[in-house]
Every structure is written in C-alpha cells, then in structure tokens.
Amino acid sequence: MLMMRIGMLTSGGDCQALNAAMRGVVKGLVENVDELEIYGFENGYKGLIYEQYRILTAADFSGILTKGGTILGSSRQPFKQMRVPDENGLDKVEAMKNTYRKLKLDCIVILGGNGTQKTANLLREEGLNVIHLPKTIDNDIYGTDVTFGFQSAINIATDAIDCIHTTAASHNRVFIVEVMGHKVGWLTLYAGIAGGADIILLPEIPYDINKVVEAIQKRSNAGKGFTILAVAEGAISKEDAELTKKAYKAKAASRKYPSVSYEIADQIKEICGVEVRVAVPGHTQRGGSPCPYDRVLCTRLGSAAAKAIMDEDYGYMIAMIDGRTKRVPLGEVAGKLKTVDPNGQMIKEAKRIGISFGD
C-alpha cells in the first residue's frame, strides 16, 4: 500500500493559475497512490516557518481549476531575510526544517517565482525533498520556456491596451499604458505587440526620450493622430542606466512621480506640447480566472510534478521546454533571471514593422 504525505505552499505575488497547478499535483497523486495526506501551509513560507497549516483532502482541490489567486494564501518572504532571525530570534531555516520533519513529510511542493525558487533550493541544500513549480506573470524564471500566470497576464494587459486604442483615437492623444515588470519586460513586450502599441519601453533596452519623441512625431507627420506606448514598470532611461545601483535607487526614491510612466508623460508633453494620459492596469494583471492556456499548462506541470514525487525524484523545478515537461535541477537554475535579449529575433521582428523601443 503506497501512502504519501506532502506539503504545499504558494509564495510571493499571486497569479491566476496557482490553484490550477496545485489541483494538477493533487489529482495526479490521488489517481495513483493508495493514501494521500496533504498539508497546506498558509501564506507561503510563513506557514512553514510558524507551523500554520491546514490538513486538506482531494475534495479541497475540486472545482478550483478556474479560480484565480490561491486557496492557501501567499506572502512575500525575501530570500535575503531567510538566514536572518525573526524579531523573536527564531532561526527561520531551522524552523522550516523542524516543521517538515515534525509532520513527517515525504516532500514539499513549492509554487512561486524567483525568490521563492531560491528558498526552495536552500531547503533542498538543507536536505528536504522539494519540487518547485514556476509561477510568475513576468515569465522571468530561467530554465523554462514559460511560467504559469504569464499568458493570463498578457491577455489582461493586452485588453487594457485594446481599450485604450478607442479613446486614444477618439481624442487624438498620446497614451501610456504601464505594464507590470520591474526587472524584465516579457509581459510588456508580448502585450505591447499583441495590443498594437507603437512604442514599447523595456528594462532591458534603456530608452532615449528624444528617440521616443521622434517616434511620436513621425506618426503625427504621417497623419496618425494618436500614439500608444506600452511601458514596463522598470523601464529606464539611458542616463539612469549608466548610474550605479546605489545612485539610481537614491534618484528613484527622490523622484516626484509615482512611476516612470508619469515622468515620461511629462517629458513628452514638455517637448511635444501634446496631451498625454497614463493608464495603469496594475494588479488587475494578476487577477481573475486563468486563461485556457494556463489551465492546460498547470494541469501538465502538476501532473509531471506528481510523477516526480511518485518516482521519489526530488530537487527539481518542473519546466516546460519545447512543448514537453522536464525536470530541471534546482541547483542549476535558482537565482538566475531570464531576460529579454535586446538583439533577439522578437525585438528585430517588432522593429521591422515599425515599433520603436526608444533606442
């Protein structure tokens, strides 16, 4: 008789398909083991640290394929702080290990992005059996072609740009749509192309405001009365990109604008004398029901994770590579970021059809 005892947690920012991924894991195990005990840790690593968990059954994972967010709750626990004792002097890493051993878990399934993955790898190094599932709307996890949540966020950001198109055309305005993404621009790139943005500004391609203005004026001279910019949260000017990390942080902290989009809007207005509006979809990009693509992706990743658990093959991220699920060693990918290549094929193709990247 095969009996398994697993832990599950979702950490970091939420996204649409976390529930779908957990469902895939549980269904894959329930169908193939005689007895399954599931310990759902609440609010990410916090639950593992402080023994805050619920004992769940397969029934708890029924009917959640289409439900956004996470039934376990989430929280951000910075990797840099994991080795720092809490306010009561508690060793967080030891506490997580103790919880794991106290509950006699066979493994723990961890769903999350880059920071979550680094802590998952730390737990692997500390001797725990870990399986990681790559979640983030940013699609910036190294070692997998795609992360779940990404396609759902593309759909929402694209819809925002689509909606802006009609009002921008009606009023002959310049519109900036600010898309999530501090360090990488995958979401802005895909949504910008899908939404027909004229200018796309990414963290990986520092922009020259004069080049941005040139692109706007070129459209105006061609008789096109409006321009739409898709701007990543982390878009950065060429001048700022040359600053040290410390100097840039200090400058950003003293910036009078709520975000870079508003600064760009002011600069365009000052140089061109045109009306500029900023639209920020914000956390709507993380919300709502997962799109069909993400539901399929999560079902496959969850099923593949269940197989790895049954094989007792731990220490892996379950990735999607060339349309196939694959076990990728956590030690090979943790801490690495997958960024947009400024000289990549997709950028070149976008430029070929007239999209400006402000460079």
Phi, psi of 249 (to 5 degrees): -60, -40
Q: Which of 14, 138, 198, 294 is catalytic?
A: 138
138 is catalytic: yes
Cα(267)–Cα(350) distance, rounded to whole angstroms?
Answer: 25
Cα(135)–Cα(141) distance, rounded to whole angstroms?
Answer: 8
Dihedral over Cα of 285, 286, 290, 292: its sign:
positive
To 5 degrees, how large is the angle CA 168–CA 171–CA 172? Answer: 75
Could you count the other beta carbons within 10 Å of the beta carbon of residue 182?
12
Contact predicate 359/207, CB 8 Å: yes
Kindly provide the residue ranges of all beta strands, DSSP E only, lying in the chain, ordered along the sequence. Answer: 3-10, 35-41, 53-56, 107-112, 130-134, 174-179, 199-201, 227-232, 276-279, 316-321, 324-329
Contact predicate 149/12, CB 8 Å: no
Residue identified by tokens 């991220």 is 317
Dihedral over Cα of 348, 352, 354, 359: its sign:
positive
Measured torsion, CA atoms of residues 207, 341, 231, 160, in degrees rounded to the nearest 10: 160
Nearest to 260 by CA among 285, 235, 239, 228: 235
> Would you name the residues annotated as active-site residues?
138
